[in-house]
Amino acid sequence: MGKKKEKVIDLKPEKISEEELKQLQNVVSAINKLQFDIGVMEVQKHSALHALFQGNERLNGMQVQFNEQYGCDDINIQDGTINYKKDEPSDS
């Protein structure tokens, strides 16, 4: 009456194929490189934004100085001409 249990063989594969492994590694490697590159760009962006902020601060300071010195901060950046408003007297 007692039947002997037969051992069941597991037919599930233990590994993916070499080709699939290479494809997987390539995709993961590409993603990692892109994430690294984005990080580098973010650092560059941060540095550029910081330099832009400093440039704006310097420009604002120069405008204050021009206002104090010339009574106007509307300067032609091509030739340095002060663009006084028509109703403002010039100091010259």
pLDDT at 88: 54
pLDDT at 25: 98
Phi, psi values for residue 31, rounded to 5°: -65, -45
Strand partners, 82: 75
Give the three-class secondary structure for 82: strand
What whole-number distance in Å separates Cα of residue 52 and Cα of residue 30?
Answer: 32
What is the pTM for the complete model shown? 0.64
pLDDT < 50: residue spans in the chain: none
What whole-number distance in Å separates Cα of residue 80 and Cα of residue 77?
Answer: 5
pLDDT at 53: 98
